[in-house]
Structure 1
Amino acid sequence: MAATEHSQQIKQDSMDYLITALLDMLQTKNLNEISITQVVKKAGVSRMAFYRNFQTLEDILIAYYKPKIDSEFNIIINRVPQDKKLNALGQFFAEMANPMKLAAKRNYEFIIQNIFNDNITNFYDKVMNWNNFSNIQKKYWTSFMSAGVYAIWREWLNSGQNESLNDIHILISDFQVSTLKALTEQIIKK
Protein backbone atom coordinates (compact mmCIF):
# COMPACT_ATOMS: atom_id res chain seq x y z
CA MET A 1 0.00 0.00 0.00
CA ALA A 2 2.80 2.42 0.86
CA ALA A 3 4.40 1.91 -2.56
CA THR A 4 1.10 2.77 -4.24
CA GLU A 5 0.72 5.93 -2.16
CA HIS A 6 4.33 6.84 -2.91
CA SER A 7 3.89 6.33 -6.67
CA GLN A 8 0.66 8.33 -6.60
CA GLN A 9 2.47 11.16 -4.82
CA ILE A 10 5.25 11.09 -7.41
CA LYS A 11 2.66 11.22 -10.19
CA GLN A 12 0.87 14.15 -8.51
CA ASP A 13 4.17 15.98 -7.97
CA SER A 14 5.07 15.51 -11.65
CA MET A 15 1.69 16.89 -12.68
CA ASP A 16 2.10 19.88 -10.36
CA TYR A 17 5.61 20.59 -11.66
CA LEU A 18 4.41 20.41 -15.27
CA ILE A 19 1.44 22.68 -14.59
CA THR A 20 3.63 25.21 -12.77
CA ALA A 21 6.25 25.14 -15.54
CA LEU A 22 3.72 25.66 -18.33
CA LEU A 23 1.85 28.43 -16.50
CA ASP A 24 5.15 30.18 -15.85
CA MET A 25 6.18 29.91 -19.49
CA LEU A 26 2.80 31.27 -20.62
CA GLN A 27 3.61 34.54 -18.86
CA THR A 28 5.98 35.36 -21.72
CA LYS A 29 5.16 33.00 -24.61
CA ASN A 30 2.11 31.91 -26.58
CA LEU A 31 0.98 28.33 -26.14
CA ASN A 32 1.89 27.45 -29.73
CA GLU A 33 5.46 28.68 -29.13
CA ILE A 34 6.06 26.25 -26.27
CA SER A 35 7.18 22.66 -26.77
CA ILE A 36 6.77 19.63 -24.54
CA THR A 37 10.56 19.43 -24.36
CA GLN A 38 10.75 22.97 -22.99
CA VAL A 39 8.07 22.27 -20.38
CA VAL A 40 9.59 19.02 -19.12
CA LYS A 41 13.01 20.66 -18.92
CA LYS A 42 11.64 23.60 -16.93
CA ALA A 43 9.59 21.25 -14.72
CA GLY A 44 12.59 19.02 -14.07
CA VAL A 45 10.74 15.84 -15.05
CA SER A 46 11.19 13.31 -17.81
CA ARG A 47 9.20 13.09 -21.03
CA MET A 48 7.95 9.77 -19.69
CA ALA A 49 6.53 11.59 -16.66
CA PHE A 50 4.81 14.00 -19.03
CA TYR A 51 3.25 11.22 -21.10
CA ARG A 52 2.14 9.30 -18.00
CA ASN A 53 0.00 12.29 -17.12
CA PHE A 54 -0.80 14.15 -20.34
CA GLN A 55 -0.92 13.77 -24.08
CA THR A 56 -0.67 17.45 -25.04
CA LEU A 57 0.16 20.81 -23.50
CA GLU A 58 -3.54 21.62 -23.73
CA ASP A 59 -4.18 18.69 -21.37
CA ILE A 60 -2.03 20.42 -18.76
CA LEU A 61 -4.17 23.55 -18.97
CA ILE A 62 -7.34 21.48 -18.79
CA ALA A 63 -5.99 19.72 -15.69
CA TYR A 64 -5.34 23.11 -14.12
CA TYR A 65 -8.47 25.06 -15.10
CA LYS A 66 -11.18 22.40 -15.21
CA PRO A 67 -11.23 21.57 -11.47
CA LYS A 68 -11.21 25.28 -10.59
CA ILE A 69 -14.03 26.21 -12.96
CA ASP A 70 -16.01 23.03 -12.20
CA SER A 71 -15.74 23.73 -8.47
CA GLU A 72 -16.98 27.31 -8.82
CA PHE A 73 -19.92 26.23 -10.94
CA ASN A 74 -20.71 23.43 -8.48
CA ILE A 75 -20.91 25.97 -5.68
CA ILE A 76 -23.09 28.29 -7.77
CA ILE A 77 -25.41 25.47 -8.84
CA ASN A 78 -25.72 23.65 -5.53
CA ARG A 79 -25.12 26.18 -2.77
CA VAL A 80 -26.21 29.60 -4.01
CA PRO A 81 -29.91 30.50 -3.71
CA GLN A 82 -31.76 30.65 -7.03
CA ASP A 83 -32.18 34.43 -6.99
CA LYS A 84 -28.44 34.94 -6.42
CA LYS A 85 -27.05 32.54 -9.04
CA LEU A 86 -26.37 35.07 -11.80
CA ASN A 87 -24.70 37.43 -9.31
CA ALA A 88 -22.49 34.55 -8.15
CA LEU A 89 -21.66 33.78 -11.77
CA GLY A 90 -20.71 37.43 -12.25
CA GLN A 91 -18.44 37.30 -9.21
CA PHE A 92 -16.78 34.23 -10.69
CA PHE A 93 -16.20 36.21 -13.91
CA ALA A 94 -14.54 38.99 -11.93
CA GLU A 95 -12.25 36.52 -10.17
CA MET A 96 -11.26 34.96 -13.50
CA ALA A 97 -10.39 38.31 -15.11
CA ASN A 98 -6.61 37.97 -15.05
CA PRO A 99 -6.46 34.29 -16.05
CA MET A 100 -8.89 35.01 -18.91
CA LYS A 101 -6.86 37.96 -20.17
CA LEU A 102 -3.73 35.81 -20.16
CA ALA A 103 -5.55 32.96 -21.93
CA ALA A 104 -6.73 35.34 -24.66
CA LYS A 105 -3.29 36.92 -24.98
CA ARG A 106 -1.45 33.57 -25.11
CA ASN A 107 -3.82 31.72 -27.47
CA TYR A 108 -5.39 29.17 -25.17
CA GLU A 109 -8.70 30.86 -24.46
CA PHE A 110 -10.49 28.05 -26.32
CA ILE A 111 -9.63 25.72 -23.43
CA ILE A 112 -11.34 27.93 -20.87
CA GLN A 113 -14.26 28.54 -23.21
CA ASN A 114 -14.84 24.80 -23.70
CA ILE A 115 -14.76 24.19 -19.94
CA PHE A 116 -17.08 27.16 -19.44
CA ASN A 117 -19.52 25.87 -22.09
CA ASP A 118 -19.70 22.45 -20.44
CA ASN A 119 -20.38 24.06 -17.09
CA ILE A 120 -22.94 26.57 -18.33
CA THR A 121 -24.81 23.70 -20.01
CA ASN A 122 -24.83 21.87 -16.68
CA PHE A 123 -25.87 25.12 -14.95
CA TYR A 124 -28.92 25.56 -17.19
CA ASP A 125 -29.78 21.86 -16.91
CA LYS A 126 -29.97 22.28 -13.14
CA VAL A 127 -31.67 25.67 -12.83
CA MET A 128 -34.13 25.61 -15.72
CA ASN A 129 -37.48 23.91 -15.98
CA TRP A 130 -37.35 22.29 -19.40
CA ASN A 131 -40.73 20.52 -19.24
CA ASN A 132 -42.38 22.61 -21.96
CA PHE A 133 -39.42 22.72 -24.32
CA SER A 134 -38.30 20.28 -26.99
CA ASN A 135 -34.84 18.75 -26.93
CA ILE A 136 -33.93 20.90 -29.94
CA GLN A 137 -35.04 24.09 -28.20
CA LYS A 138 -33.18 23.14 -25.04
CA LYS A 139 -30.00 22.23 -26.92
CA TYR A 140 -29.83 25.35 -29.07
CA TRP A 141 -31.07 27.79 -26.46
CA THR A 142 -28.39 26.52 -24.07
CA SER A 143 -25.72 26.81 -26.79
CA PHE A 144 -26.94 30.30 -27.65
CA MET A 145 -26.95 31.45 -24.03
CA SER A 146 -23.58 29.87 -23.30
CA ALA A 147 -21.98 31.64 -26.25
CA GLY A 148 -23.73 34.88 -25.33
CA VAL A 149 -22.79 34.80 -21.66
CA TYR A 150 -19.21 33.99 -22.57
CA ALA A 151 -19.10 36.81 -25.14
CA ILE A 152 -20.49 39.30 -22.61
CA TRP A 153 -17.95 38.15 -20.02
CA ARG A 154 -15.10 38.43 -22.52
CA GLU A 155 -16.15 41.87 -23.73
CA TRP A 156 -16.56 43.09 -20.15
CA LEU A 157 -13.04 41.89 -19.29
CA ASN A 158 -11.45 43.28 -22.44
CA SER A 159 -13.14 46.65 -22.20
CA GLY A 160 -11.78 47.28 -18.72
CA GLN A 161 -14.69 46.07 -16.54
CA ASN A 162 -16.22 49.55 -16.57
CA GLU A 163 -19.75 48.36 -15.95
CA SER A 164 -20.73 47.01 -12.56
CA LEU A 165 -21.30 43.30 -12.08
CA ASN A 166 -24.89 44.19 -11.29
CA ASP A 167 -25.28 45.86 -14.72
CA ILE A 168 -23.83 42.75 -16.38
CA HIS A 169 -26.11 40.53 -14.28
CA ILE A 170 -29.16 42.52 -15.38
CA LEU A 171 -28.09 42.37 -19.03
CA ILE A 172 -27.60 38.59 -18.96
CA SER A 173 -30.85 38.14 -17.08
CA ASP A 174 -32.72 40.30 -19.61
CA PHE A 175 -31.30 38.28 -22.51
CA GLN A 176 -32.20 35.05 -20.77
CA VAL A 177 -35.77 36.13 -20.02
CA SER A 178 -36.31 37.59 -23.51
CA THR A 179 -35.09 34.52 -25.33
CA LEU A 180 -37.08 32.19 -23.09
CA LYS A 181 -40.17 34.33 -23.66
CA ALA A 182 -39.67 34.05 -27.43
CA LEU A 183 -39.36 30.26 -27.16
CA THR A 184 -42.44 30.06 -24.96
CA GLU A 185 -44.44 32.13 -27.47
CA GLN A 186 -43.27 29.79 -30.23
CA ILE A 187 -44.57 26.81 -28.22
CA ILE A 188 -47.95 28.50 -27.66
CA LYS A 189 -48.32 29.27 -31.40
CA LYS A 190 -47.87 25.60 -32.28
Structure 2
Amino acid sequence: MTNFRNETQGPILYRNSTDKRVKQTSAKLFDSIGHLLESKKFDDIGIKEISALAGIGRATFYRNFDYVEDVLKLRLDEEFIALSTQVEPSRHNSLVNLEPFFAFWINNSEILQILIKADKWSIFTSKFNAEAQGPIIELSMHIKHDPRFDEYLHTILSGIITSTLQTWVARGMQETSQELCQMIDLPFKIYSTNSPVMAKQ
Protein backbone atom coordinates (compact mmCIF):
# COMPACT_ATOMS: atom_id res chain seq x y z
CA MET A 1 0.00 0.00 0.00
CA THR A 2 1.10 3.57 -0.55
CA ASN A 3 2.01 5.80 2.35
CA PHE A 4 -0.48 8.33 3.71
CA ARG A 5 1.68 11.19 2.39
CA ASN A 6 0.95 11.97 -1.23
CA GLU A 7 4.13 10.84 -2.96
CA THR A 8 3.36 13.00 -5.99
CA GLN A 9 3.67 16.24 -4.04
CA GLY A 10 6.81 18.28 -4.27
CA PRO A 11 8.94 19.47 -1.35
CA ILE A 12 7.58 21.75 1.33
CA LEU A 13 7.68 25.25 -0.08
CA TYR A 14 9.42 27.09 2.75
CA ARG A 15 12.90 28.45 2.54
CA ASN A 16 15.46 26.29 4.39
CA SER A 17 12.65 24.49 6.23
CA THR A 18 14.87 21.50 7.12
CA ASP A 19 17.62 23.61 8.71
CA LYS A 20 17.87 23.08 12.47
CA ARG A 21 18.02 26.81 13.20
CA VAL A 22 14.98 27.42 11.03
CA LYS A 23 13.08 24.72 12.93
CA GLN A 24 13.96 26.43 16.22
CA THR A 25 12.89 29.81 14.85
CA SER A 26 9.61 28.48 13.44
CA ALA A 27 8.85 26.79 16.78
CA LYS A 28 9.33 30.11 18.61
CA LEU A 29 7.13 31.91 16.10
CA PHE A 30 4.45 29.23 16.40
CA ASP A 31 4.46 29.57 20.21
CA SER A 32 4.21 33.34 19.84
CA ILE A 33 1.14 33.01 17.64
CA GLY A 34 -0.48 30.70 20.19
CA HIS A 35 0.23 33.18 22.98
CA LEU A 36 -1.14 36.16 21.04
CA LEU A 37 -4.30 34.27 20.05
CA GLU A 38 -5.26 34.28 23.71
CA SER A 39 -5.94 38.00 23.49
CA LYS A 40 -6.50 38.93 19.83
CA LYS A 41 -7.72 37.68 16.48
CA PHE A 42 -5.29 36.05 14.09
CA ASP A 43 -5.84 38.71 11.42
CA ASP A 44 -4.72 41.35 13.94
CA ILE A 45 -1.39 39.62 14.58
CA GLY A 46 1.49 41.15 12.65
CA ILE A 47 4.92 39.92 11.66
CA LYS A 48 6.63 42.60 13.76
CA GLU A 49 4.66 41.53 16.84
CA ILE A 50 5.28 37.78 16.65
CA SER A 51 8.93 38.33 15.74
CA ALA A 52 9.47 40.53 18.77
CA LEU A 53 7.73 38.05 21.07
CA ALA A 54 9.78 35.21 19.61
CA GLY A 55 12.98 37.18 20.14
CA ILE A 56 13.98 37.30 16.48
CA GLY A 57 14.35 40.10 13.97
CA ARG A 58 11.93 40.78 11.13
CA ALA A 59 14.75 40.10 8.69
CA THR A 60 15.04 36.60 10.12
CA PHE A 61 11.32 36.08 9.66
CA TYR A 62 11.43 37.14 6.03
CA ARG A 63 14.39 34.89 5.33
CA ASN A 64 12.10 31.94 6.00
CA PHE A 65 8.49 33.06 5.55
CA ASP A 66 6.38 35.56 3.66
CA TYR A 67 3.29 35.64 5.87
CA VAL A 68 2.27 34.80 9.45
CA GLU A 69 0.05 32.05 8.04
CA ASP A 70 3.15 30.35 6.61
CA VAL A 71 4.29 29.53 10.15
CA LEU A 72 1.09 27.55 10.71
CA LYS A 73 1.43 25.80 7.34
CA LEU A 74 5.00 24.74 8.07
CA ARG A 75 4.04 23.37 11.48
CA LEU A 76 1.21 21.37 9.92
CA ASP A 77 3.53 20.06 7.20
CA GLU A 78 5.92 18.87 9.91
CA GLU A 79 3.09 17.09 11.70
CA PHE A 80 2.03 15.26 8.55
CA ILE A 81 5.62 14.16 8.01
CA ALA A 82 5.66 12.87 11.60
CA LEU A 83 2.36 11.10 10.95
CA SER A 84 3.82 9.29 7.96
CA THR A 85 6.83 8.11 9.95
CA GLN A 86 5.22 7.30 13.32
CA VAL A 87 2.18 5.41 12.12
CA GLU A 88 2.76 2.16 10.24
CA PRO A 89 1.59 2.69 6.65
CA SER A 90 -0.02 -0.75 6.47
CA ARG A 91 -2.23 0.18 9.42
CA HIS A 92 -3.51 3.56 8.34
CA ASN A 93 -2.93 4.49 4.73
CA SER A 94 -5.95 2.72 3.25
CA LEU A 95 -8.21 4.86 5.49
CA VAL A 96 -10.04 1.69 6.47
CA ASN A 97 -8.60 1.73 9.98
CA LEU A 98 -8.51 5.35 11.12
CA GLU A 99 -7.73 4.71 14.78
CA PRO A 100 -3.93 5.23 14.43
CA PHE A 101 -4.64 8.43 12.46
CA PHE A 102 -6.88 9.82 15.19
CA ALA A 103 -4.52 8.63 17.92
CA PHE A 104 -1.72 10.64 16.31
CA TRP A 105 -3.73 13.86 16.35
CA ILE A 106 -4.87 13.25 19.91
CA ASN A 107 -1.19 13.21 20.88
CA ASN A 108 -0.32 16.14 18.60
CA SER A 109 -3.37 18.36 18.89
CA GLU A 110 -1.71 21.74 19.46
CA ILE A 111 -1.64 22.71 15.79
CA LEU A 112 -5.31 21.72 15.45
CA GLN A 113 -6.25 23.93 18.39
CA ILE A 114 -4.27 26.86 17.00
CA LEU A 115 -5.83 26.52 13.54
CA ILE A 116 -9.32 26.63 15.04
CA LYS A 117 -8.49 29.59 17.29
CA ALA A 118 -7.05 31.39 14.28
CA ASP A 119 -10.12 30.55 12.18
CA LYS A 120 -7.75 28.87 9.70
CA TRP A 121 -9.12 25.33 9.69
CA SER A 122 -9.13 25.49 5.89
CA ILE A 123 -5.34 25.06 6.08
CA PHE A 124 -5.88 21.61 7.59
CA THR A 125 -8.59 20.58 5.17
CA SER A 126 -6.49 21.62 2.17
CA LYS A 127 -3.47 19.74 3.48
CA PHE A 128 -5.50 16.64 4.31
CA ASN A 129 -7.19 16.63 0.90
CA ALA A 130 -3.80 16.66 -0.81
CA GLU A 131 -2.25 14.04 1.47
CA ALA A 132 -5.26 11.69 1.37
CA GLN A 133 -5.68 11.67 -2.38
CA GLY A 134 -3.50 8.60 -2.89
CA PRO A 135 -5.06 6.46 -0.13
CA ILE A 136 -8.59 7.36 -1.24
CA ILE A 137 -7.78 6.40 -4.83
CA GLU A 138 -6.36 3.14 -3.52
CA LEU A 139 -9.44 2.54 -1.40
CA SER A 140 -11.77 3.17 -4.34
CA MET A 141 -9.99 0.46 -6.34
CA HIS A 142 -11.38 -2.14 -3.94
CA ILE A 143 -14.96 -0.85 -4.04
CA LYS A 144 -17.38 -1.55 -6.87
CA HIS A 145 -18.50 1.86 -8.06
CA ASP A 146 -18.76 4.14 -11.06
CA PRO A 147 -15.31 5.85 -11.44
CA ARG A 148 -17.09 8.99 -12.59
CA PHE A 149 -17.99 9.50 -8.93
CA ASP A 150 -14.42 9.33 -7.56
CA GLU A 151 -14.41 13.06 -6.89
CA TYR A 152 -17.55 12.68 -4.77
CA LEU A 153 -15.94 9.82 -2.85
CA HIS A 154 -12.90 11.98 -2.09
CA THR A 155 -15.07 14.92 -1.02
CA ILE A 156 -17.31 12.82 1.23
CA LEU A 157 -14.54 10.88 2.97
CA SER A 158 -12.28 13.90 3.40
CA GLY A 159 -15.15 16.02 4.67
CA ILE A 160 -16.26 13.47 7.25
CA ILE A 161 -12.74 12.87 8.58
CA THR A 162 -11.68 16.52 8.79
CA SER A 163 -15.03 17.61 10.24
CA THR A 164 -14.79 14.89 12.89
CA LEU A 165 -11.40 16.23 14.00
CA GLN A 166 -12.68 19.80 13.97
CA THR A 167 -15.70 18.89 16.09
CA TRP A 168 -13.51 16.87 18.45
CA VAL A 169 -11.36 19.94 19.15
CA ALA A 170 -14.40 22.19 19.50
CA ARG A 171 -15.94 19.77 22.04
CA GLY A 172 -12.86 19.88 24.23
CA MET A 173 -11.03 16.82 22.86
CA GLN A 174 -12.88 14.40 25.13
CA GLU A 175 -13.29 11.35 22.91
CA THR A 176 -10.75 8.58 22.39
CA SER A 177 -9.46 7.48 19.00
CA GLN A 178 -11.79 4.47 19.15
CA GLU A 179 -14.79 6.70 19.83
CA LEU A 180 -13.84 8.98 16.93
CA CYS A 181 -13.80 5.95 14.65
CA GLN A 182 -17.27 5.08 15.89
CA MET A 183 -18.39 8.60 14.98
CA ILE A 184 -17.07 8.03 11.45
CA ASP A 185 -18.97 4.74 11.16
CA LEU A 186 -22.25 6.08 12.57
CA PRO A 187 -23.60 8.04 9.56
CA PHE A 188 -22.82 5.14 7.21
CA LYS A 189 -24.64 2.72 9.51
CA ILE A 190 -27.63 5.04 9.72
CA TYR A 191 -27.70 5.44 5.95
CA SER A 192 -27.33 1.72 5.22
CA THR A 193 -30.13 0.92 7.68
CA ASN A 194 -32.62 3.48 6.38
CA SER A 195 -31.76 3.90 2.70
CA PRO A 196 -34.28 2.38 0.26
CA VAL A 197 -31.42 1.92 -2.19
CA MET A 198 -29.35 -0.08 0.27
CA ALA A 199 -32.39 -2.10 1.31
CA LYS A 200 -32.86 -3.35 -2.25
CA GLN A 201 -29.29 -4.62 -2.47
TM-score (norm. length: structure 1): 0.70
The gaps in structure 1 that reach 5 residues or longer are: 1-7
- 71-80 vs 19-28, greater mean Cα deviation: 71-80
SS in structure 1 of the partner of residue 135 of structure 2:
helix
Between Structure 1 and Structure 2, whose CA radius of gyration is higher? Answer: 1
Q: 1:149 aligns with which of 147, 157, 161?
A: 161
Q: Provide the rounded CA distance (Å) in 2 between the counterparts of 1:134 and 1:20.
A: 48
Q: 2:53 aligns with which of 9, 28, 42?
A: 42
Q: 1:166 aligns with which of 169, 173, 178?
A: 178
Note the C-alpha offset of 1:66.
0.9
Which residue pairs with 2:133 in the alignment?
A: 121
Mapped contact 1:17–1:44 kept (Cα < 8 A):
no
Q: 2:97 aligns with which of 85, 88, 99?
A: 85
Mapped contact 1:58–1:111 kept (Cα < 8 A):
no
Q: Provide the rounded CA distance (Å) in 2 between the counterparts of 1:46 and 1:163.
A: 41
Mapped contact 2:102–2:180 kept (Cα < 8 A):
yes
CA 17–161 in structure 1, closer or farther in 2 if over 3 Å, else same = closer
Mapped contact 1:14–1:49 kept (Cα < 8 A):
no
Q: Provide the rounded CA distance (Å) in 1 between the counterparts of 2:172 and 2:43.
A: 26
Which residue pairs with 1:62 in the alignment?
A: 73
CA 47–160 in structure 1, closer or farther in 2 if over 3 Å, else same = closer
Letter in 1 for 2:112: M
The gaps in structure 2 that reach 5 residues or longer are: 1-15
Note the C-alpha offset of 1:48.
3.3
Q: 2:25 aligns with which of 17, 24, 28?
A: 17
Letter in 1 for 2:29: A
Mapped contact 1:54–1:60 kept (Cα < 8 A):
yes
SS in structure 2 of the partner of residue 55 of structure 1:
coil
SS in structure 1 of the partner of residue 97 of structure 2:
helix
Q: Provide the rounded CA distance (Å) in 1 between the counterparts of 2:188 and 2:127.
A: 21
CA 19–152 in structure 1, closer or farther in 2 if over 3 Å, else same = same
Residues 139-167 of structure 1: CA distance to partner in whole angstroms, max 9, x if unpaired? Answer: 22111211111112222232234444323
- 115-124 vs 167-176, greater mean Cα deviation: 167-176
Which residue pairs with 1:5 in the alignment?
A: none
Q: Provide the rounded CA distance (Å) in 2 between the counterparts of 1:120 and 1:128.
A: 12
Letter in 1 for 2:32: D
Structure ranking higher on relative contact order (CA contacts 8 Å, 6+ apart): 2
Q: Which has the higher helix share?
A: 1
CA 111–151 in structure 1, closer or farther in 2 if over 3 Å, else same = same
Residues 76-109 of structure 1: CA distance to partner in whole angstroms, max 9, x if unpaired? Answer: 4624276973111221232244432232123333
Which residue pairs with 1:140 in the alignment?
A: 152
Note the C-alpha offset of 1:52.
2.5
**Percent identity at matched positions?**
14
- 96-105 vs 130-139, greater mean Cα deviation: 130-139
Mapped contact 1:76–1:88 kept (Cα < 8 A):
yes
Q: Provide the rounded CA distance (Å) in 2 between the counterparts of 1:179 and 1:60.
A: 40
